[in-house]
Amino acid sequence: MERRRLDVVVLSDVHLGTYGCRAKELLNYLRSIQPDMLILNGDIIDGWQFSKRFFPSLHMQVINELMQLITLGTRIVYITGNHDEMLRRYTDLQMGNFTLTDKLVLEIDRKMTWIFHGDVFDNTTRGSARLMAKLGSNGYGLLILFNRFVNALLGFFGREKVSISKKIMEGVNQAVAKVNDLEQIASSLAIKKNYDYVICGHIHRPAHKTIENAEGTVVYLNAGDWVEHMTALEYENKSWRLFYYNAKDFPASSQAEARQTLSVITELITVHFSKA
């Protein structure tokens, strides 16, 4: 497949090192693009759940593909999130075409864009609530594993897939958004700073909307995640759009993936319960 040339791509909430990470699909996507700039907007490697006993080869291939993009000339900016906060001690690291930072302001086609993960506005990632957030993250990972097992069985019998984990995650996100109101807070600050765009991650909810208040307007964007939605933000021809992964666009990879699904799930279950 020939790589699509893009100006900018934003990915967030990949969660490498967890059961929920859709590494195969992400790898297919990365191999199909060649952006001038790739922004990894937080929670790319999941330090909360990282274990030496569970880091599949597909997850490592994602990292290798990111390195391959650098060799092809892509500039990669890694913005830290709450799950990879251990990297914040190295913020502003610069090595060739790779930059590690906590936030980024870009001028693209005379438009100012403010990019950060968004956990700074989430009270559940700080203080005593932090422990509960970590426990919830671990439980969600196991739920993802169970959901994939159910869908493998449904697929075997020709039944439609269900997303138990997505329904629960959306319910959690709605509760978090109600308390912290990430979209409104980020947008209000961006308007005060006279930015044209504000891009976040964190809440696993892809978005492309215009938000207005008494002081002005801003375009709020969220790249979503590669756990449930499998989405990215792409900038081309002076406009942003949301990319939604569709397996039909990667037929050869999808067929191979279907053949391997049950064996991979068996491996994940074995690893998980051997750690228990």
Predicted confidence (pLDDT) per residue in 9-23, tens digit: 999 999 999 888 999
Tokens linked to 263: 């064996």
Q: What is the pLDDT of residue 266?
A: 56
Q: What is the pLDDT of residue 145?
A: 58
The residues of the chain scoring below 70 in pLDDT are 49-53, 122-158, 160-180, 252-276
Q: Which domains does the chain have, with CATH numbers?
A: 4-275 (3.60.21.10)
Query: In this structure, what are the phi and psi dihedrals at residue 99, rounded to the nearest 5 degrees?
Result: -130, 135
The DSSP string of 226-238 is: TTTT-EEEEEETT
Dihedral over Cα of 270, 61, 12, 241: its sign: negative
CB within 8 Å of 159: residues ≥ 6 apart:
none
pTM score = 0.77
Nearest to 182, CA basis, from 128, 104, 102, 120: 120
CA distance 235 to 241: 7
Nearest to 45, CA basis, from 83, 90, 93, 6: 83
